Structure 1
Amino acid sequence: MNPASLRITEIFYSLQGETSRLGLPTVFVRLTGCPLRCGYCDSAYAFHGGKTMGFDEILAEVARHGARTVCVTGGEPLAQKHSLAFLTALCDAGYDVSLETSGALPIADVDPRVSRILDIKTPGSGELEKMHWDNLAALTPKDEVKFVLCDRADYEWARDLVRQRKVNDLAPVLFSPVWETLPPADLAAWVLEDHLPVRMQVQLHKILWGEKPGV
């Protein structure tokens, strides 16, 4: 029995709404707590509270849903000291594991079997200064880089960063509009106009079920 534990906000089974795994039936393990306060955050309910669960209890709940794909998200999962060991435990159990991380904490020690979805904070997020830029050097082609864009200014900032730092040579790049402030059609037009080698995405789970926990 593994005595390590994590603070968990929720574990649920849904369709993956983002990334290259879009549409895949997935078990989500949402950890509690985050050191950032992005202005557009859609999971602020995970900042506090939650339930302390041991690894064995978490793995049993994950297994109950019968899916091969698992996404560890937050909050900010890497803010909890046992998160790295838990990601390895998921991989050892045979799951296809992805990690959604804010980019503010180092990713270099994450198990290499995990696909790291690295969120690069834009000026519009209000948390740009907390970015850990050394994370770019740790990326591999199995990882993905996500930009959540508030407006045209965010888009231009992200576009220029992708070009200048050749981010798409490091890992696939995702551009996502903030649900409330940037019409998806506008972002699509800008990406096409600039011939930008990125994948535009919208949040499938919100289209299907709206903005709420557990989806």
Structure 2
Amino acid sequence: MLSIEAVSAKLRITEIFASVQGESTRVGLPTVFVRLTGCPLRCGWCDTEYAFQGGESRSIADVCDAVAAHGLHHVCVTGGEPLAQRACLALLTALCDAGFSVSLETSGALDIAPVDPRVSRIMDLKAPGSGEVSRNRWDNLPHLTSHDEIKIVLADEADYAWAKAQITLHALAQRCTVLLSPVQGKLDATELAEWIVRDRLPVRFQLQLHKILWNDARGR
């Protein structure tokens, strides 16, 4: 049963759709995506600018019903930046209460501590090439557990060097799975894979599966 807060809460939703998860350790799993509208960041390689504005106001109950109608177990709440909407926290809890396996795609610029612990938090660290490195909320790191993941998207070799330094400085791989991705069209994926192997980095290399399959933003 939804809490009183959740019953009255409204969210701006850009889209709800079923696809194959294109990123994270859940890659390849049929998943329902709930894309919330709005984002306070402007990353140079963003592929979801269409979600910055607009959207439709929907209740949490309506969103949960729309998710359930797809008949899938895995749900990914994404954006934009979903945590920029206060009611996102109640939505995440409602989805967990409904029995879904829930992941959250978040930029790492906002506080992740209040997120329901049943949710797998897929948190970005913004490398310099994103243009938003100053927005990283380093206070989030102590809240990460083995249930969560860190994603770092890299535009060039300088971004890779930065990521390698952060992995060592903050012992990131001891906290949770760390995923390194190349920006499509900017950093050669083969080069990134070779750097990771050369340096014996304790990370997981990933490509955006949805870009390979559909050349768009479906799947994150």
- TM-score normalised per structure 1: 0.98
Q: How do 1:85-124 and structure 2 match up within 5 A?
A: 85-124=90-129
CA contact (8 A) 1:116 1:144 kept: yes
Q: Which amino acid aligns with 1:32?
A: T
User: What number of residue pairs does the alignment pair up?
Assistant: 215
* CA deviation after TM superposition for structure 1 residue 16, in Å: 0.1
Identify the residue that residue 88 of structure 2 maps to in structure 1: 83
* CA deviation after TM superposition for structure 1 residue 4, in Å: 1.2
Identify the residue that residue 26 of structure 2 maps to in structure 1: 21
Among 42, 66, 76, which residue is 1:61 paired with?
A: 66
* CA deviation after TM superposition for structure 1 residue 183, in Å: 1.1
Q: Where in structure 2 are there 5+ consecutive unaligned residues?
A: none
CA distance in 1, matches of 2:218, 2:168: 35
Identify the residue that residue 197 of structure 2 maps to in structure 1: 192
CA distance in 1, matches of 2:68, 2:14: 17
* CA deviation after TM superposition for structure 1 residue 178, in Å: 0.4
CA distance in 2, matches of 1:16, 1:213: 8
Among 177, 180, 189, which residue is 1:175 paired with?
A: 180
CA distance in 2, matches of 1:5, 1:67: 23
**Identical-residue share of aligned pairs (%):** 60
CA contact (8 A) 1:12 1:214 kept: no
Distance 1:122 1:205, change over 3 A: same
Q: Where in structure 1 are there 5+ consecutive unaligned residues?
A: none
CA distance in 2, matches of 1:55, 1:62: 11
CA contact (8 A) 2:16 2:32 kept: yes
RMSD of aligned Cα (Å) = 1.1
* CA deviation after TM superposition for structure 1 residue 3, in Å: 2.0
Does structure 1 residue 157 correspond to structure 2 residue 162?
A: yes
* CA deviation after TM superposition for structure 1 residue 163, in Å: 1.1
Identify the residue that residue 70 of structure 1 maps to in structure 2: 75
Describe the SS at the equivalent of 1:134: helix
CA distance in 2, matches of 1:113, 1:213: 24
Identify the residue that residue 210 of structure 1 maps to in structure 2: 215
Give structure 1 regions of 4+ aligned residues with deviation exceeding 3 angstroms. Answer: 212-215
Distance 1:19 1:214, change over 3 A: closer
Describe the SS at the equivalent of 2:138: coil
User: For each residue in 1:129-169, what CA deviation from the matched residue of structure 2 results, as whole angstroms up to 9, or x when unmatched?
Assistant: 11111000100000000000000000010011101211000
CA distance in 2, matches of 1:80, 1:131: 18
Does structure 1 residue 147 correspond to structure 2 residue 174?
A: no
Describe the SS at the equivalent of 1:9: strand
Distance 1:158 1:214, change over 3 A: closer
CA contact (8 A) 1:87 1:111 kept: yes
* CA deviation after TM superposition for structure 1 residue 212, in Å: 4.8
- TM-score normalised per structure 2: 0.96
* CA deviation after TM superposition for structure 1 residue 214, in Å: 7.7
Q: Which amino acid aligns with 1:205?
A: H
Q: How do 1:26-65 and structure 2 match up within 5 A?
A: 26-65=31-70
CA distance in 2, matches of 1:156, 1:176: 13
